[in-house]
Amino acid sequence: MSQFETLNVTASGSLGRLELARPERLNALSRLMLTEIAQAARWFDTQRDVKVVVVAGQGRSFCAGFDLNDFSNPDPGWGVRETADQGRLAAEALTDMRALTIAAIQGHCVGGGLVMAASCDLRVAARSAVFSIPEVDLGIPLAWGGIPRLVREIGPAATKELVLTCRRFFPEEAKALGFLNTIVEDDDLETHVAALATSLASKPGYALRSTKQQVNAVTEEMVGTRRNAADADALVYATYDPESRAVSAAYLKSKNKA
């Protein structure tokens, strides 16, 4: 087991668990959490017996997206662009993990949290889960490689609609679009994912790894995600663009009133 401040990370035999552990913030993605997700993914790669890792969130939400408070407050130890790029690095680390990853999604799965889920190999959601991509309403583009990942999973038209409208959508639609593998009743999420992970982990590791690598290679050729370092530049620009800043301020004001 490895120690992290914002994650619970465990490994037992062929199974691992990477749990977002900021339930008081609905597991919002801070700079530190994004850094630790990448570190945890690399740590799992050193655990040669681990075949399957469940990626989950503590409490009532999978992930509320990037932490607005964290990102709006400069940190002298972090450059602006470095901060903007942490999500891409975390998403790529999840995608590249040697083990298979299963996202167990409950409650809200928002923005950057949805990108983290999209970076996993399989996705299972509780029936009451709620998805949204509010970045455009926040005055920023969806970054971190989120656009190509969504285009690969649900197609360009659905990606444009969901990203541009920022509307909420629910598990039935997410599964119909191809984003989810399975929907289960809320009380069954943990047991279903555990059974799926155990079943997969009982299979030969070489075949699991080879299948994951082959599918990822094909999808990368279809729509590449490795050209998205410039996503950070787009985020940084949005923080200086007057219209984007005004939209962001209005959005945050309306949320604070609510």
In a domain, 254, yes or no: no
Higher per-residue pLDDT: 73 or 149: 149
Residue 243 forms part of a structural domain: no
CA atoms of 224 and 8, how far apart (whole Å): 31
> What confidence score (pLDDT) does residue 111 get?
97
* Domain presence at residue 102: yes
Residue 33 domain-assigned (yes or no):
yes
Q: Is the pLDDT of residue 15 over 70?
A: yes
Domain assignment of residue 17, yes or no = yes
End-to-end CA distance of the chain: give it in Å, rounded: 41
- pLDDT for 114-137, tens place per residue? 999 999 999 999 999 999 999 999
- Structural domain tally of the chain? 1
Find the angle CA(230)-CA(166)-CA(231) to the nearest 5 degrees.
5
Distance of CA 44 to the CA centre of its chain: 17
What's the pLDDT score for residue 74? 67
Residue 1: pLDDT over 60: no
Residue 220 is assigned to a structural domain of this protein: no
Which positions ≥6 away from 140 have C-beta within 8 Å? Answer: 234, 235, 238, 239, 244, 248
Question: According to the model, what pLDDT value does residue 254 have?
Answer: 75
How confident is the model over 196-202, as a mean pLDDT? 98
Residue 96 to residue 45: CA distance in whole angstroms: 9
The mean pLDDT of 53-62, rounded to a whole number, is 98
Percent of the chain residues topping a pLDDT of 70: 96
Lowest pLDDT segment from 1-15, 169-183, 199-213, 214-228: 214-228
- Predicted TM-score (pTM) of the model is 0.93
Task: Please give the pLDDT value at position 255.
Answer: 67
**Residue range 205-237, pLDDT digits in tens:** 999 999 999 999 999 888 877 777 788 888 888
For residue 2, the model assigns a pLDDT of: 61
Res. 258: pLDDT tops 70 = no
- The model's confidence at residue 22, banded by pLDDT at 50, 70 and 90, is very high
Identify whether 81 is part of a domain. Answer: yes
Distance (Å, whole) CA 129 – CA 108:
6
Residue 177: domain span? 7-187
Residue 107, domain CATH: 3.90.226.10
